[in-house]
Structure 1
Amino acid sequence: MHIVVLPGDGIGPEITAATTGVLRVASERFQLNLRLEEHPIGHASLKQFGATVQPGLLDVVRAADGLILGPTATFDFKDEARGEINPSRYFRKSLDLFANVRPARTYAGRPGRLGDFDLVVVRENTEGFYADRNMEQGNGEMLVTPDVVISLRRITRSCCERIAHAACRLAMKRRKHLTIVHKANVLKIGDGMFLAICREAARAYPGLEVDDVLVDAMMAHVVRNPDRFDVVVATNMFGDILSDLTAELSGSLGLGGSLNVGDRHAMAQAAHGSAPDIAGQDVANPVSLIQSTALLLAWHGEKSGAVRYEEAASAIEGAVAKAIAEGRATRDVGGRLGTIAAGAAIAEILQAK
């Protein structure tokens, strides 16, 4: 399996180094024959090549079996004419990665304040209120006068259908429960269509239990009783907010895995930002990117029919759980280890198994 690795900005290189260490152990144990090809991205690429995403990198990624993207300083990149491309948006849009899969779960040894839970948010990734990805040309936000801004949201039948089926397929592999999150009582046309299409798609999956919750009510439910949910599907912005909330409820945003999936490509990506305030201090939690990479291996295994990749993914997730249960983790989740040592602990457990 050929994986392109883009370490990113801030804490990105640190958590990427910890992640690749785990990957190398997994590759040896499960005979994955992983080939990791690293390239600069973000500020490092801008300094070296004059662009945050160097020319030709997309072709390299398309030819690979998967992509790992460390967190980048997205807020810093404002002018594409000066090479300041948002790497996350660029790859999501260029590779048509329409589903953002965001698991959130609690761990033994690190009990959640709201009890144990295990859920997945499936977020539509290519349209919605995101101004940089819902127009063929230009931006979805317009400054009409100095005091008036109009933001456009795009909702299409095709994007609703494919995210709905992606969520349904995942729910059928888990506890067969799908929750549709929406605001159809106010956004009657856009969210009304999203809700109707999700319900129609779910009819093709016998035994799938389906309910729907208004997004504001969902925020109340998920902080009161998160274990009632299994797979949650939502439009882009609602899913973005909800997935960060559920990751934090599990104990830390640093625990949340994130996989961006399309029909032919997938990108593992930490669920959090580049955290420049703690960069270089060896305190960042590497678990989010490690878990995201496990999701990437599982996706490749399912896609290629090579079970050993799915077995490796499961073993990595088990090693993460054991490390957290033993307190061999970073401070944000009750441990005392630094970034590199926390990654090494997971690799050690993985190797010992």
Structure 2
Amino acid sequence: MKLVLLPGDGIGPEIAAATRVVIEAAAARFGLTLEIEEDLAGHASLKKHGATVTPELLSRVRAADGLILGPTATFDFKDAARGEINPSMYFRKNLDLFANIRPSRTYAGVPNKVGDFDLVIVRENTEGFYTDRNMAQGDGEILVTPDVSIALRRITRHCCERIARSAFELAMTRRRRLTFVHKANVLKISDGMFLDICRAMAADYPEVETDDVLIDAMMAHVVRKPSRFDVIVTTNMYGDILSDLTAELSGSLGLGGSINAGAEHAMAQASHGSAPDIAGQDVANPMSLILSTAQLFDWFGSRSGDAAYVAAAAGIDKAIEACVGRGEATRDVGGRLGTGATGAAVAAAVAGL
């Protein structure tokens, strides 16, 4: 497996280094053949190449088997004409990474106020309210006058169908429950299309129990009783907000893994941002990026038929669970270690499986 690793900005280099230690341990333990190529994205690339991401980098990523993208300073990048391109958007759009898969679960040893749960949010990743992904040319957010702004939301049958099918397929591997989250009572045409497509596709998966919940009500339900949910499928912005909430309910956003997957490519990406306020202090939690990379291994192993990568993904998950339970983690999840030591602890746990 050939991987491109882009450490990114802020805490990115620290958590990327910890992640690399873990995946190298997993390669040794499970007999994986890994080739890891590090490159630049974000501010470092802007300084060196005049752009946060380059076409040459995209070509290298296309030729690889997977991408690990560390957090980047997205808010800083405002003018694409000056090379200030959102790296996450760039890869999602150019690689057509239409499914953002974000598991959230509780861990023994990490306090939570909502009880134990284990769910996965399947978020459409290429359209919706994210206006930088909605146009073939230009942007779907428009300043009509200094006092009037318009944002266009795009919902297509094609994107609804493929994200719904991805969610049903995932539900078949879990507890066979799927919830459609929408706002079709107000957005009758766009969310109505999404909901109609999800309901129609249920006929292809009679083993899966389905229901649907309005997005505002869903926020209350996951706080009240997240254990009632298994797999949740929704459109782009709803999924972005909801998955941050469920990750935080598990104990920390630092425990939220995330993979962006398409038909041919996939990208591991932590659920959180670049946190420049704590960069360089050895306190950032690397587990989100580590868990995301485990998802990438599982995606590659399932797609290629290589069971060793699937086993490695499960092993990394098990190692993180053990480390969190022993307090061999960062302080945000009740641990006592710094970023680097947490990576080393997870790597040791993987090696000892």
Q: TM-score, normalised by structure 2?
A: 0.99
The DSSP-based 3-state class of the residue aligned with 2:221 is helix
Preserved CA contact (<8 Å) 2:109 2:334:
no
Q: Kindly indicate whether the alpha-carbon contact (under 8 Å) linking 2:259 and 2:269 is maintained by their aligned counterparts in 1.
A: yes
Q: After superposition, where does 1:293-332 map in structure 2 within 5 Å?
A: 293-332=293-332
Name the structure 2 match of 1:163: 163
In structure 2, what is the equivalent of residue 99 of structure 1? 99
SS in 1 for 2:46: helix
Using the TM superposition, give the Cα deviation of residue 136 of structure 1 relative to its aligned residue in structure 2, in angstroms.
1.1
| Residue 61 of structure 2: aligned partner | 61
Write out per-residue CA displacement over residues 275-333 of structure 1, whole angstroms, 9 at most, x where no aligned residue: 00000000000000000000000000000000010000000000000000001110000
User: Separation in 1 of the partners of 2:46 and 2:146?
Assistant: 32
State how far apart, in whole Å, the 1-side matches of 2:163 and 2:185 are: 21
Q: Verify: 1:263 aligned to 2:263, yes or no.
A: yes
* Match of residue 204 from structure 1: 204
Q: Deviations over 1:18-56 (max 9, x none)?
A: 000000000011111111000011001111111111341
Identical-pair percentage: 71
Q: Counterpart of 1:37 in 2: which secondary structure?
A: strand
Q: Kindly state the Cα deviation for residue 203 of structure 1 after the two structures are TM-superposed.
A: 1.4
The alpha carbon displacement at 1:151 in A equals 1.0
How many angstroms apart in 2 are the aligned matches of 1:292 and 1:148? 39
Output the CA distance in 2 between the equivalents of 1:314 and 1:172: 18
Aligned to 1:90: 90
Q: Distance in 2 between matches of 1:42 and 1:12?
A: 10
CA distance in 2, matches of 1:71, 1:105: 22
Q: Distance in 1 between matches of 2:215 and 2:169?
A: 22
Q: What residue number does 1:22 align with?
A: 22
Cα distance in 2 for partners of 1:166, 1:20 equals: 29
Does structure 1 residue 174 correspond to structure 2 residue 174? yes
Aligned to 1:241: 241
Distance apart, 1:109 and its partner CA: 1.5
Structure 1 distance, partners of 2:150, 2:255, is 36
Aligned residue number for residue 333 of structure 1: 333
Q: Secondary structure at the match of 1:317?
A: helix
Shift of 1:80: 1.1
**Aligned partner of residue 130 in structure 2, secondary structure:** coil
SS at 1:222's partner residue? helix
Letter in 1 for 2:141: E
Deviates more, 1:216-225 or 1:136-145: 136-145
**CA deviation vs aligned residue, 1:183-222 (integer Å, no higher than 9, x gap):** 0000000000000001111210121000000000000000
Contact 1:164 1:202 in 2 (8 A): no
Secondary structure (helix, strand or coil) at the match of 1:203 reads helix
SS at match of 2:21: helix
Bigger drift between 267-276 and 45-54 goes to 45-54
Q: Which residue is 1:342 aligned to?
A: 342
1:147 aligns with 2:136: no
How far is 1:112 from its partner? Answer: 2.0
Task: Name the residue aligned to 1:285.
Answer: 285
> What residue ranges of structure 2 are gaps of 5+ in the alignment?
none
Distance in 2, matches of 1:53 and 1:141, equals 22
CA distance in 2, matches of 1:152, 1:59: 30
Q: Deviations over 1:168-194 (max 9, x none)?
A: 000010000000000000000000000
Shift of 1:111: 3.8
Q: Any idea what the Cα deviations from partners look like across 1:249-269, whole Å, max 9, x if unmatched?
A: 000001000000000000000
Alignment of 1:186-197 (within 5 A): 186-197=186-197
Task: Check whether the contact 1:120–1:232 (CA below 8 A) recurs between aligned residues.
Answer: yes
Amino acid at match of 1:91: F
Q: Which moved more, 1:108-117 or 1:192-201?
A: 108-117
Count of residues paired in the alignment: 353
Partner SS, residue 159 of structure 1: helix
| Counterparts of 2:343 and 2:12, CA distance in 1 | 14
Distance in 2 (alpha carbons) for counterparts of 1:233 and 1:311:
26
Q: What amino acid sits opposite 2:148 in the alignment?
A: V
Report SS of the residue matched to 2:102. strand
Q: Distance in 2 between matches of 1:2 and 1:81?
A: 31
Flag as ranges the 4+ runs of structure 1 deviating above 2 A: none
- Root mean square deviation of aligned Cα: 0.6
Asked if the contact 1:165–1:202 (Cα under 8 Å) also holds between the matched residues in 2, the reply is no
- The 3-state SS of whatever aligns with 1:328 is coil
Decide which moves more: 102-111 or 59-68. Answer: 102-111
CA distance in 2, matches of 1:220, 1:270: 25
Q: Is the 8 A contact 1:183 1:191 kept in 2?
A: yes
CA positional deviation for 1:141:
1.1
Alpha-carbon separation, structure 1, partners of 2:95 and 2:235: 19
Q: Which runs of 5+ in 1 are unaligned?
A: none
Q: What is the SS of the residue equivalent to 2:67? A: strand
Q: Distance in 1 between matches of 2:108 and 2:202?
A: 33
Q: Which moved more, 1:219-228 or 1:199-208?
A: 199-208
- In 2: Cα distance, 1:3 partner to 1:285 partner: 22
Provide the C-alpha distance between the structure 2 equivalents of 1:25 and 1:290, rounded to a whole number of angstroms.
12
